[in-house]
């Protein structure tokens, strides 16, 4: 079992997202994360999907996705050099907390405090999933109220494009 | 020219060359039915249930290769069609299903006869569309026909809200349509094809395992030529029967759960499996861990996702089977062909397995054995009928005992196994081939799942011969309960006193009914029925109640571990 990031150019049409989601549930594949948004070409959406499975399952996922009529093209980012990014926002209760302790965790992970109130603060971090997991783990002893992850987005490095 | 949406649909169907639409009217499709009424190019067949309409379109498509077309209303019209759509999807049948939908402003309001048709059918169609703009109607219809009929075929649903069928716009037919996200064809890959031919030349014990793809891809001629040229034995899946002539000495029979012993033994012992348009279904492979243990595998298929799905293959070839086989024939010819003596030992092994005579059965006891009925049907029809099967024991008997020499003559619900498929699908085949003998082989369970279509047969004068193998049981389930549940026959008995009188039932629908109880009457009755060219004859054969389908690969066993009798 290994983790794969599959990046998809999808027709920007009603129901396209359900076709992808439906494929995963109907065939029993894993979806760990899913993000989708329009691109500079209004007819296309870009979807990034994090999944895991054996080599055979990942091969089937790629083939089955390709077979969907709304899927224009796709790439498994994990097969090459790529950048992955995810945004997390963590809201904690600051009541009875040592400000220095929060500060040292935030700076130690390269995160920012983007909102502060009398009882709460929101910490934000942009990074790959490992960095985000690490931040959440360090903040676990504090009083975490909410964790909001954007899910992974990714792109290939260098002069290698996912276009139509 | 300015036409309404409804008129555009009927006009488009005409321009697309559609001869028949199978359907059932309702509120959301009133405009379309009015447009149908006002033209005479496209003929409408009113079935008595939407499921019947879809199976009829399916039988039409399977028997002549053209896409089947269905028209049903919204809500229950669409949900009743779902079983038929799923049946076509599992067997990759080209079909376009037009469903009515509530008017656009009402969508999502739980309107009368509203269901989310696109949502409900999503997982059992090749693709589906909701048309919300009259100006995209023609383009969408063209896309639907293109997607349904190219690549690996399949059903496409086009959901059309009622208001869209009432709006008007300019109409002109589209000859073709570009779909950027859809691959309509793959060029045959030269390198892989060359490698495949080399593997054939190196092999000692090759076998061709071919499926529905050969029928759908019209590749029987190429398959036959290739197999004969290389002297390779051929086995067919149940979907592939007729893809290679069953009376040819190189044919070793159907394979799989109720396949021939020689076919399954050859699969188990082969060193080169050449899969053509087949998908390694669990009914074919038996226990996948024990499948073809000594073989290298070549898989030719038009659908990349079929390859290495269940079984990892050594050489994938994505392409149209007809073109790939034609290229293989050419290469084989250029290289001087395969040494005719090369497979002598392999053939002597196969002849040895053949001596098991795995389809022999005890025909005694003064009762009608279903196998005997099928053998007699084969002889009386000279092997030339369209045989449309329902689902159950009779389906397997028909597949085993009727020898199909031509493609598209054997029609059955192979993937989904839909009881009730037989009679309506036979109607579709009869529409496609009005002068041919069309038989439906069914059972007392299956026939009652779409018996209402006897009325459609009357209305259109379809002279189908219904071969009802009546054993008073849901036989295939009973067989499994006998083998694996210590004969606890749970809810499988259809007691004689609770059954309809099929003869009177047929007569009340305006057809000819016959009941056959004595084995000596089987052949004369079949001859009498076949002589009634203009009439539907319902033949109720009272058969041996606890007959079992043999041979059989039990669940979990390998193909070499068959129960012979």
The DSSP element (H or E) to which B514 belongs, if any, is strand B512-516
Closest chain B C-alpha to A64 CA, distance in angstroms: 6
Confidence tier at A31 by pLDDT (50, 70, 90): very high
**Of B254, B257, B449, B476, which residue is the catalytic one?**
B476
Note whether B312 contacts A56, CB cutoff 8 Å: yes
Distance CA B186, CA B200 (A): 23
In terms of CA atoms, which chain A residue is nearest residue B143? Answer: A69
- Closest by alpha carbon to B129, among A86, A70, A74, A76? A70
Helix axis angle for A55-67 and A16-26, nearest 10°, is: 150
Note whether B123 contacts A70, CB cutoff 8 Å: no
Residues B260, B264, B267, CA angle at the centre, nearest 5°? Answer: 145
Q: What pLDDT is stored for residue B337 in this prediction?
A: 81
Distance CA A152, CA A50 (A): 7
pLDDT tens per residue across span B431-462? 999 999 999 999 999 999 999 999 999 999 99
Exposure string over B454-490, b if 16+ CB within 10 A, otherwise e: bbbbeeeebbbbbbbbbbbbbbbbbbebbeeeeeeee
Alpha helical stretches, state H, B170-303 = 190-202, 212-216, 220-230, 261-269, 282-285
Distance CA A61, CA A51 (A): 9
Alpha helical stretches, state H, chain A = 16-26, 55-67, 99-108, 129-139
Using an 8 Å Cβ cutoff, are B380 and B526 in contact? yes
Using an 8 Å Cβ cutoff, are A133 and A84 in contact? no
What DSSP letter does each residue of B479-505 carry, written as one string?
HHHHHHSTT---S-B--GGGS--HHHH
Using an 8 Å Cβ cutoff, are B126 and B154 in contact? yes
Q: What pLDDT is stored for residue A101 in this prediction?
A: 83
Note whether B304 contacts A72, CB cutoff 8 Å: no
Q: What pLDDT is stored for residue B129 in this prediction?
A: 98
Confidence tier at A96 by pLDDT (50, 70, 90): confident
Predicted ipTM of the assembly? 0.92
Distance CA B343, CA B259 (A): 23
Confidence tier at A97 by pLDDT (50, 70, 90): confident
Token pair of B288 as six digits? 């996948």
pLDDT tens per residue across span B195-206? 999 999 999 999
Q: What is the mean pLDDT of residues A144-160?
A: 96
pTM for this entry? 0.96
Q: What pLDDT is stored for residue B126 in this prediction?
A: 98
Using an 8 Å Cβ cutoff, are B291 and B559 in contact? yes
Give yes or no for A1 touching B (CB within 8 A): no
CB-nearest partner of B308 from A14, A22, A59: A59
Interface-testing mutation among A67, A163, A164, with chain B (most B C-beta atoms within 10 A) = A67
Q: What pLDDT is stored for residue B251 in this prediction?
A: 98
3-state SS class at B221: helix
pLDDT one digit per residue (tens) for chain B, 565 residues: 899 999 999 999 999 999 999 999 999 999 999 999 999 999 999 999 999 999 999 999 999 999 999 999 999 999 999 999 999 999 999 999 999 999 999 999 999 999 999 999 999 999 999 999 999 999 999 999 999 999 999 999 999 999 999 999 999 999 999 999 998 888 999 999 999 999 999 999 999 999 999 999 999 999 999 999 999 999 999 999 999 999 999 999 999 999 999 999 999 999 999 999 999 999 999 999 999 999 999 999 999 999 999 999 999 999 999 999 999 999 999 988 888 899 999 999 999 999 999 999 999 999 999 999 999 999 999 999 999 999 999 999 999 999 999 999 999 999 999 999 999 999 999 999 999 999 999 999 999 999 999 999 999 999 999 999 999 999 999 999 999 999 999 999 999 899 999 999 999 999 999 999 999 999 999 999 999 999 999 999 999 999 999 999 998 899 999 999 7
In terms of CA atoms, which chain B residue is nearest residue A61? Answer: B305
Q: Phi and psi dihedrals of B151, rounded to 5?
A: 60, -140
Burial of B174 (0-12, 13-18, 19+ CB in 10 A): middle
Q: What pLDDT is stored for residue B373 in this prediction?
A: 98
Neighbours of B512 (CB within 10 A): 18
Give how far the C-alpha of residue A154 lies from the chain's centroid of Cα atoms, to the nearest Å.
8
């Amino acid at each position: 079992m290994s983790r794969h990031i599959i990046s998809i150019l999808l027709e920007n049409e009603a129901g396209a997202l359900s076709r992808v989601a439906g494929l995963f549930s109907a065939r029993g594949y894993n979806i760990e994360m899913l993000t989708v948004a329009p691109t500079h070409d209004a007819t296309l959406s870009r979807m990034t999907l994090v999944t895991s499975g054996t080599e055979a399952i990942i091969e089937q996922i790629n083939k089955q996705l390709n077979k969907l009529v709304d899927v224009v093209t796709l790439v498994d980012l994990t097969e090459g050099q790529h950048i992955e990014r995810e945004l997390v926002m963590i809201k904690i209760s600051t009541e009875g907390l040592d400000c220095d302790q929060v500060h040292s965790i935030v700076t130690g992970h390269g995160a920012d405090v983007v909102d502060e109130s009398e009882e709460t603060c929101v910490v934000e971090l942009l990074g790959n999933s490992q960095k985000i997991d690490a931040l959440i783990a360090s903040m676990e002893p504090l009083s975490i109220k909410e964790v909001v992850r954007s899910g992974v987005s990714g792109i290939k490095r260098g002069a290698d494009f996912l276009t139509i | 020219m300015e036409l309404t949406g409804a008129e555009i649909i009927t006009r488009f169907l005409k321009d697309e060359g559609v001869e028949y639409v199978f359907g059932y009217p309702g509120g959301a499709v009133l405009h379309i039915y009015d447009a149908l009424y006002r033209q005479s190019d496209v003929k409408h067949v009113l079935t008595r249930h939407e499921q019947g309409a879809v199976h009829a379109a399916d039988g039409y498509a399977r028997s002549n290769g053209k896409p089947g077309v269905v028209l049903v209303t919204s809500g229950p019209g669409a949900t009743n069609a779902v079983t038929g759509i799923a049946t076509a999807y599992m067997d990759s049948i080209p079909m376009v299903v037009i469903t009515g939908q509530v008017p656009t402003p009402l969508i999502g309001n739980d309107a009368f006869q509203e269901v989310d048709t696109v949502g409900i059918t999503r997982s059992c169609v090749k693709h589906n569309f909701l048309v919300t703009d009259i100006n995209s109607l023609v383009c969408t219809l063209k896309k639907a026909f293109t997607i349904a009929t190219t690549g690996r075929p399949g059903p496409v649903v086009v959901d059309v809200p009622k208001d869209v069928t009432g709006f008007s716009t300019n109409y002109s037919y589209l000859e073709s349509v570009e779909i950027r996200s859809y691959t309509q064809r793959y060029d045959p890959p030269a390198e892989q094809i060359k490698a495949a031919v080399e593997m054939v030349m190196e092999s000692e014990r090759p076998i061709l395992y071919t499926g529905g793809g050969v029928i759908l891809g019209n590749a029987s001629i190429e398959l036959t030529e290739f197999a004969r040229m290389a002297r390779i034995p051929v086995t067919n899946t149940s979907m592939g029967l007729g893809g290679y002539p069953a009376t040819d000495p190189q044919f070793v029979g159907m394979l799989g759960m109720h396949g021939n012993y020689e076919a399954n033994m050859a699969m188990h012992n082969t060193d080169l499996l050449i899969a053509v348009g087949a998908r390694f279904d669990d009914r074919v492979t038996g226990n996948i861990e024990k499948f073809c243990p000594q073989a290298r595998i070549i898989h030719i298929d038009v659908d990349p996702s079929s390859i290495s799905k269940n079984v990892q293959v050594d050489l994938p070839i994505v392409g149209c089977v007809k073109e790939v086989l034609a290229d293989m024939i050419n290469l084989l010819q250029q290289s001087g062909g395969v040494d005719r003596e090369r497979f002598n030992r392999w053939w002597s092994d196969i002849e040895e397995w053949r001596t098991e005579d795995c389809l022999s059965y005890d025909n005694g006891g003064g009762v009608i054995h279903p196998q005997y009925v099928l053998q007699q049907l084969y002889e009386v029809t000279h092997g030339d009928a369209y045989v449309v099967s329902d689902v159950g024991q009779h389906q397997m008997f028909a597949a085993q005992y009727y020898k199909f020499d031509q493609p598209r003559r054997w029609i059955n619900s192979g993937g989904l196994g839909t009881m009730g498929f037989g009679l309506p699908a036979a109607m579709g085949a009869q529409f496609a081939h009005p002068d041919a003998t069309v038989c439906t082989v069914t059972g007392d369970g299956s026939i009652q799942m779409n018996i209402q279509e006897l009325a459609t047969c009357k209305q259109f004068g379809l002279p189908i011969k219904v071969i009802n193998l009546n054993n008073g049981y849901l036989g295939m389930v009973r067989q499994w309960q006998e083998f694996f549940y210590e004969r606890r026959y749970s809810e499988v008995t259809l007691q004689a006193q609770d059954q309809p009188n099929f003869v009177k039932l047929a007569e009340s629908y305006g057809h000819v009914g016959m009941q056959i109880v004595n084995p000596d009457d089987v052949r004369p009755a079949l001859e009498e029925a076949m002589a009634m060219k203009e009439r539907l004859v319902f033949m109720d054969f009272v058969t041996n109640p606890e007959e079992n389908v043999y041979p059989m690969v039990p669940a979990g066993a390998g193909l070499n571990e068959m129960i012979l009798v």
